[in-house]
Amino acid sequence: MERRQSGLGTALREAVLAGVRGLGLAVLVPVGSITLFVCAVLSIAFILLGVGVFTTPYVLTAVRAHADRRRLLAADWADVRIPSSYRPFPPDLRRGVTGRVERCALMVKDPATWRDLRWLLADMTAGWITAFLPAALTVYAVEGLVIAAGLWHVLADTGYWYAFVPVGGQASALAAGALGLVLLGLGALYGPALLRFHFTFTRSVLAPDRAGEMTRRIAALTESRHAAVDTSASELRRIERDLHDGAQARLVAMGMDLGTVEALIERDPAKAKAMLAQARRSSADALTELRDLVRGIHPPVLAERGLGDAVKALALRFPLESEVTVDLPGRAEAPVESAAYFAVSELLANTAKHSGADRVWVDLAHRGGALRINVTDNGSGGAAASAGSGLSGVERRIGTFDGVLAVSSPVGGPTMVTMEIPCELS
């Protein structure tokens, strides 16, 4: 009996939550989608007049941020994955007027831009209806219960109708409450599914077709493979440089000191003793540098205890207040764990340097065959506008494993960076 009541309570909570989220979408969809659609159409039309060349990149960037925000909500609220297929800008894109014209041309030629505009048109019509449905079943049901609880006293003389029930007295209020209970039951059964239907509809319009998605994935994997090779080569050069300038230099100096000790041990024992102490310090420093170098390649705690504990250890050394939540029933393959660890490390470093935050939350979980990592801070936002810094490196790192990265960082904050890496846990 207790288990059945607990299940009913969970279903009602999920239904109410789906209704509130659907109501929020129903309120925000017309504001965001209609405004951006009108601005985008006008800006593209004004390209012929020359003005749109300068305004279109900014407007389409806002459209992409709006679409990416919906992708994040789809993943968080309904576990619906909507891939992003925007063509990357060339790294040698010029600055100034010429660069703006080139950026405008690249964005207008991108098929994903026209999918976004088609989605905005669908979102403000059918999308609004599908978002409002779970709210109609749950939030409206709560209204019927409130009317039965006593609100009918206020509404009795106003000619108010609750659905098809005219609210005019206690009996009609109880009828409204009964209808509210029926709607609440329907919401408990179908509310979350209706919210998921909204995001499924969004995916059907916003996601690329199968051929385009395969082309994008092949191009992304090819690019990430080249980036991985370049990163590996630069990492080898860094290790060689650190060994040459650090531990190797100390070992050479220690060898020279031991040679001097060998020459002085009979003629000047005191000086030889001092030289031996210096050689011992040099050996300790060389060992410390070697340990730091190995830790930079693959932290021991990552190999011994897994990604969750490694990220917790990383957070302990982080200068800001942090909270780490881990829901990993097993371990991923070592290369995936290593990529995820250093991606989180890079994101935390960016947060400390640029965000102005004083608190960070890191969530690790495995859902739907993918390792999902959220890094959220309460900083000033605006990270998406400067995504060419550490975020591009993080995207390349996880892209080697067909991973994806999404950023939600409105001006004023908060900033949420979501990473997903397909993998299986052992």
- The model's pLDDT over 171-182, given as tens digits with 9 standing for 90+, comes to 777 777 787 777
SS (HEC) of 141-185 = HHHHHHHHHHHHHHHCCCCCEECCEECCCHHHHHHHHHHHHHHHH
Is omega for the bond preceding 91 within 30 degrees of 0, making it cis? no
Q: Would you state the pLDDT for residue 39?
A: 93
Which of 47-61, 298-312, 355-369 has the lowest average pLDDT?
298-312
Q: Would you state the pLDDT for residue 180?
A: 75
Q: 375 forms bridges with which residues in the sheet?
A: 362, 417
The yes-or-no verdict on residue 6 having pLDDT over 70 is no
The yes-or-no verdict on residue 5 having pLDDT over 50 is no
What does the alpha-carbon distance between residue 339 and residue 401 come to, in Å, rounded to a whole number? 9
Cα separation values, 74 from 36, 67, 80, 410, Å: 20, 10, 5, 18
SS3 363: strand
CA 197 from chain center: how many Å? Answer: 22
Provide mean pLDDT across the span 327-347: 86
pLDDT in tens, 366-381: 987 889 999 988 888 7
Average pLDDT value over all residues in the chain: 78
- What are the DSSP calls for 325-349, one per residue? EEE-SS---HHHHHHHHHHHHHHHH
Provide mean pLDDT across the span 320-328: 89
Alpha helices in 46-88 (DSSP H): 52-78
The yes-or-no verdict on residue 323 having pLDDT over 80 is yes
Mean pLDDT highest for which of 24-38, 80-94, 204-218, 387-401?
A: 24-38
What does the alpha-carbon distance between residue 198 and residue 78 come to, in Å, rounded to a whole number? 9
Q: Would you state the pLDDT for residue 232?
A: 57
What does the alpha-carbon distance between residue 415 and residue 352 come to, in Å, rounded to a whole number? 13
What does the alpha-carbon distance between residue 347 and residue 303 come to, in Å, rounded to a whole number? 21
Contact between residue 181 and residue 145 where contact means Cβ atoms under 8 Å apart: yes
Percent of the chain surpassing pLDDT 90: 11
Q: Would you state the pLDDT for residue 145?
A: 73
- The larger pLDDT score, comparing residue 259 to residue 122, is at 122
Q: Would you state the pLDDT for residue 250?
A: 65
- The larger pLDDT score, comparing residue 48 to residue 93, is at 48
Q: Would you state the pLDDT for residue 340?
A: 87
Q: 94 forms bridges with which residues in the sheet?
A: none
- What are the DSSP calls for 205-247, one per residue? HHSPPHHHHHHHHHHHHHHHHHHHHHHHHHHHHHHHHHIIIII
What does the alpha-carbon distance between residue 181 and residue 256 come to, in Å, rounded to a whole number? 88
Provide mean pLDDT across the span 195-207: 89
Q: Would you state the pLDDT for residue 120?
A: 93
- The larger pLDDT score, comparing residue 56 to residue 29, is at 56
Q: Would you state the pLDDT for residue 117?
A: 93
pTM score above 0.75? no
Residue 402 is classified by DSSP as T
